[in-house]
Amino acid sequence: MRSRIGVGIVGFGTVGTGVATILLHNAALISRRVGVPVELIRVADRDITRDRGLRLNPGLLTTDASAVLTDPNIDVVIELIGGYDTAKRIILDAIAAGKHVVTANKALLALHGEEIFDAATRKGVDVGFEASVGGGIPVVRALTEGLAGNTIESIYGIINGTSNYILSRMTHEGHSFQEVLQDAQHAGYAEADPTFDIAGIDSAHKLAILVNLAYGTPVNFKDIYTEGITSITPTDIAYAKQFGCTIKLLGIAKLVDGEIEARVHPTMLPSTSPIAQVEGVYNAIQLVGDAVGDVVLYGRGAGSMPTGSAVVSDVIAIGRDVRKGIVGRVPVASFQQDQRRPIRLRSMEEISSLYYLRFTVVDRPGVLAQIAGELGRCGISIASMVQQGRCEGQTVPVVIKTHSAKERDVQTAICEINRKPFVSEPTMLIRIEGKDE
Ligand code: NDP
Ligand code: HSE
């Protein structure tokens, strides 16, 4: 029987510091839950002189990541450096050395998860990645264990705190995207280069992981349609409010006739729905299972301690199994590796949705008829229309909400309408989730 579980961290930054803090401060509690102490053996970082606000035995610190991989006292290697190449090498080397691995690296898993899962399964080690989606929210474990008896019908996730913070402030304060982005950067929510957050890429990484776990299928990250929040304006937010809706950046996955829709884009939701009410940097994921119905998970999607909490939960799960001499009790990607099946991901043009379309047009007789005519020719049915104010000869917004329509048809119609001489700006399109009334 094991007398302890040895842990090594590579990457002593924001999350690494949180993990070390939890392992030290909650050591007695963790030991009671695992059955033996979980001991931090080595911590590697490029810079081991910087004050991280945590007193560690200096003998633990090293600048050499390989010292963690080769230490025979370490059972679990925690990769927290981020990025692709070096992180992947560290994880695969750790697996090859027979170590269990825990990571928060959603970008790496979205692109190279299959290779990592295969390597771990072949070697007979576990890989934990609870922190990779939703920070401290236990959504990975919900899909792999708590909801394992369900067919997952749909997933709706606010899985990027930075964009939710920006959209929340735009909604409540009426500021423009650029103004709020600058505030988010000053407040330290957005990265210095916030591209992955605001362009939807971070959400798409996380959605790829959720789809993989929910449906037991490898996901080609490039097949996930991804659109960010940079073109959302205060005007669209004001119209959304008028319709009783809120705009959120959602990761959406649905099982439709045995195929999967997976997409990330700004979405109008009824303001009364649970995830429409998620504000600021918080994350929420709404899962619908065929047996359980709706489940909504809500919490902090980032930060040192919340993300550290998720990482430590993986260490505890692995520690419990190591103590019992068990490996692979829960398959790495939820389904038994040899039971995972390719499922077709629908292309964006195949999906159906309700749409908000904001046309910017010259206010003159006949314009509305031409827009309606083009929509009609493409088989798109109008649910409602708003044109506020009257500015003959000037530019005005005309907003149309559609009944359920095919994306391919809507794109064709918009393309045609944008070519008309009375259109002065490209048409804004936002998909709506809700009842077709
Ligand atoms: P940080 O940049 O704060 O920390 C990473 C640390 O690893 C830095 O100190 C970095 O040093 C060090 N490092 C980089 N390369 C090496 C190397 N080859 N050997 C040793 N040390 C190295 O990142 P975070 O803690 O924020 O993120 C870590 C991971 O967690 C990422 O994958 C991220 O996506 C994920 N994550 C982060 C969340 C958060 O809230 N921050 C939330 C959820 C997931 P240097 O600074 O010199 O580069
Ligand atoms: N940049 C991410 C966010 C961090 O804003 O949610 C957590 O993955």
Position 11, amino acid:
G
The pLDDT value given to residue 212:
97
The pLDDT value given to residue 427:
98
Tokens at 9, concatenated: 């961290």
The pLDDT value given to residue 388:
76
**87 Cα: distance to centroid of ligand 1 (angstroms):** 10
CA distance readout (Å), 119 to 65, 353, 431: 20, 39, 39
The pLDDT value given to residue 42:
98
Tokens at 297, concatenated: 């998970």
Query: Residue 36, CB half-sphere, CA atoms under 13 Å: how many?
Result: 17
Question: Residue range 172-185: average pLDDT?
Answer: 90
**Helices then strands (H, E): number in the chain?**
14, 17
Atom 34 (ligand 1) nearest CA: 105
Can you tell me the distance from the alpha carbon of 49 to that of 37, in angstroms, rounded to the nearest whole number?
27
User: Which ligand 2 atom is at minimum distance from the Cα of 162?
Assistant: 5
Is the predicted pLDDT of residue 205 greater than 90, yes or no? yes
- Ligand closest to the CA atom of residue 130: 1
CA distance readout (Å), 261 to 155, 186, 344, 350: 10, 36, 9, 9
- Orientation angle between helical segments 161-173 and 234-242, nearest 10 degrees: 70
Residue 98 CB partners (closer than 8 Å, separation 6+):
123, 125
User: Which ligand 1 atom is at minimum distance from the Cα of 11?
Assistant: 7
- Model confidence at 204, pLDDT cuts 50, 70, 90, reads very high
- Ligand closest to the CA atom of residue 87: 1
Rounded to the nearest 5 percent, the helix, strand and coil shares of the chain are: 40, 25, 35
The pLDDT value given to residue 162:
94
- Model confidence at 184, pLDDT cuts 50, 70, 90, reads confident
DSSP states along 233-269: -HHHHHHHHHTTEEEEEEEEEEEETTEEEEEEEEEEE
Residues 423 and 360: beta-carbon distance below 8 Å:
yes
**254 Cα: distance to centroid of ligand 1 (angstroms):** 32
Phi and psi based region of residue 328 (left: phi greater than 0; alpha: psi -120 to 50; beta: remaining): left
Residues 345 and 217: beta-carbon distance below 8 Å:
no
Residues 16 and 80: beta-carbon distance below 8 Å:
yes
H/E run at residue 376: helix 367-377
Is the predicted pLDDT of residue 79 greater than 90, yes or no? yes
Tokens at 310, concatenated: 């998720």
In tens, the pLDDT along 336-376 reads 999 999 999 999 999 999 999 999 999 989 999 999 999 99
Question: Residue range 257-264: average pLDDT?
Answer: 97
What length is written for the chain? 437
Is the predicted pLDDT of residue 323 greater than 80, yes or no? yes
- Model confidence at 96, pLDDT cuts 50, 70, 90, reads very high
The pLDDT value given to residue 130:
98
How high is the mean pLDDT of the chain?
95
- Model confidence at 1, pLDDT cuts 50, 70, 90, reads confident
In tens, the pLDDT along 285-294 reads 999 999 999 9
Judging by beta carbons within 10 Å of its beta carbon (0-12, 13-18, 19+), is residue 37 exposed, middle or buried? middle
Instruction: Determine the 3-state secondary structure of 30 from DSSP.
Output: helix
Phi and psi based region of residue 434 (left: phi greater than 0; alpha: psi -120 to 50; beta: remaining): left
Strand partners, 247: 268
In tens, the pLDDT along 380-410 reads 999 999 987 667 778 999 999 999 999 999 9
The pLDDT value given to residue 99:
98
Mutate which of 21, 66, 81, 88 for ligand 1? The one with the most ligand atoms within 8 Å of its CB, which is 81
Residues 197 and 217: beta-carbon distance below 8 Å:
no
Instruction: Determine the 3-state secondary structure of 284 from DSSP.
Output: strand
- Our answer on whether the CB atom of 299 is closer than 6 Å to any ligand 2 atom is no
Phi and psi based region of residue 202 (left: phi greater than 0; alpha: psi -120 to 50; beta: remaining): alpha
Between strands 423-432 and 259-270, the pairing is parallel
**223 Cα: distance to centroid of ligand 1 (angstroms):** 27
Residues near ligand 1 with C-beta < 6 Å?
Answer: 10-16, 44-47, 65, 80-82, 86, 104-106, 131, 135, 302-303, 307
**194 Cα: distance to centroid of ligand 2 (angstroms):** 10
Q: Supply the residues annotated as catalytic.
A: 206
Residue 433 CB partners (closer than 8 Å, separation 6+):
156, 250, 252, 267, 268, 269, 353, 354
Can you tell me the distance from the alpha carbon of 114 to that of 122, in angstroms, rounded to the nearest whole number?
12
